[in-house]
Amino acid sequence: MLKGKVAIVTGSTSGIGLGIARELARLGADIVLNGFGDPGEIEKIRSGIEREDGVRVAYDGADMSDGEAVRGMIAATIENFGRLDILVNNAGIQFTAPVEAFPPAKWKAILDINLSAAFHGIASAVPQMKKQRWGRIVNIASTHGLVASTHKAAYVAAKHGLLGLTKVVGLETAGSGVTCNAVCPGWVRTPLVEKQISDIAAEKGISQKQAAEELLSEKQPSLDFASPKQIGGTVAFLCSAAADQITGTTISVDGGWTAQ
Ligand code: NAD
């Protein structure tokens, strides 16, 4: 389905981004991985996907908190692969504290990585996608792009902003062959959420299993986590011909969280 297409997935050395990269590669796309981690581990992931799926896989270590680096990664991909078809803005970080105690440096880092990186990536990718008359931009937002929770001021602000950006870019590219949409996952069990589970377990003196159950029962009616592979499948759908007329909107994968 995606043979001959080139996809960048930001923050794809772990969690949801890696699930998305694996799914797009399985469907035949060449992949640019991005994110932090142990160089040996990243190389294992890169060569593993290349071997298993018979696609070309590159790694770009651009820091998503640096707008110029984001723009450089897009330019380097177009230079190396000769095209760019899919941009998945997935890299993201979390930090929790009441608003009056929220460290300004954390606020800035979350806004830079979870929101501004998508702006820089999109601004650099759109001209190439328009030239090709085909492009798919998928922003990995969150249920926290639609509703709030306490102690997540920066994250909720950034994710709401990302949905606004998605709508504007959907309008600006309408009819050009380029679409821009967001995916809003509920709880997905990744290192980002594992830390929140550990915090609950430590705070309440309960086991990891009990803390995970508590996390789910508070918000997610299905009482189960979505998987990175399922989020990858949702992104793949948005890259399929069935989604040609879907733009400027969001798909929730949240076990019913935002239906409440
Ligand atoms: P994760 O911590 O497993 O992965 C985050 C990825 O981003 C890693 O590859 C990391 O190296 C990369 N990254 C972090 N800072 C970076 C930077 N400055 N430059 C480049 N890469 C950077 O987290 P995850 O749970 O897979 O989250 C991925 C996305 O999904 C995030 O945007 C997150 O907000 C969103 N999300 C996650 C959940 C969930 O329940 N896990 C729910 C909703 C939305």
Give me the mean pLDDT over the 223-232 stretch.
97
- Which CATH fold topology does 6-188+226-254 show? Rossmann fold (3.40.50)
How far, in Å, is the centroid of ligand 1 from the Cα of 252?
17
State whether residue 30 is helix, strand or coil: strand
Give me the mean pLDDT over the 222-228 stretch.
97
Of ligand 1's listed atoms, the one at least distance from the Cα of 66 is 18
User: Above 90 in pLDDT, residue 164?
Assistant: yes
Sheet holding 135-140, edge to edge: 57-60, 30-34, 6-9, 86-89, 135-140, 178-185, 250-253
CB atoms within 10 A of CB 22: 21
3-state helix, strand, coil in the chain (%, to 5): 55, 15, 30
Of ligand 1's listed atoms, the one at least distance from the Cα of 188 is 40
Integer Cα distance of 235 and 210 in angstroms: 31
Q: Where are the alpha helices (DSSP H) in 54-190?
A: 67-81, 104-111, 117-132, 153-173
User: Which residues, judged by CB distance below 6 Å to any ligand atom, belong to the binding site of ligand 1?
Assistant: 11-17, 34-37, 63-65, 90-93, 113-114, 140, 142, 185, 187-188, 190-193
Integer Cα distance of 109 and 113 in angstroms: 6
User: Above 90 in pLDDT, residue 187?
Assistant: yes
How far, in Å, is the centroid of ligand 1 from the Cα of 206?
26
What ipTM, to 2 d.p.?
0.99
pLDDT, tens only, 33-51: 999 999 999 999 999 999 9
Of ligand 1's listed atoms, the one at least distance from the Cα of 155 is 34
Percentage of the chain lying above the pLDDT 90 cut: 98
Dihedral angle sign, alpha carbons of residues 122, 123, 129, 130 = positive
- Ligand 1 pocket test: pick from 33, 93, 120, 229 the residue with the most ligand atoms within 8 Å of its Cβ: 93
How far, in Å, is the centroid of ligand 1 from the Cα of 131?
30
Tokens of 246: 């879907």
pLDDT, tens only, 82-125: 999 999 999 999 999 999 999 999 999 999 999 999 999 999 99
Q: Tell me the residue type at 145.
A: G
How far, in Å, is the centroid of ligand 1 from the Cα of 100?
25
pLDDT at 66: 98
Q: Where are the alpha helices (DSSP H) in the chain?
A: 15-26, 39-53, 67-81, 104-111, 117-132, 153-173, 191-204, 208-219, 228-238
Of ligand 1's listed atoms, the one at least distance from the Cα of 61 is 20
Catalytic hit among 155, 187, 225, 257: 155
Output b/e per residue, 152-177; b: 16+ Cβ within 10 A.
Answer: bbbbbbbbbbbbebbbebbeebeebe
155 among known catalytic residues: yes
Cα 159 to the center of its chain, rounded Å? 11
User: Above 90 in pLDDT, residue 192?
Assistant: no
Q: What are the domain boundaries of the chain? A: 6-188+226-254, 189-225
148 close to 110: Cβ distance less than 8 angstroms: no
User: Confidence band (pLDDT; 50, 70, 90) for 155?
Assistant: very high
CB atoms within 10 A of CB 250: 17
How far, in Å, is the centroid of ligand 1 from the Cα of 102?
20
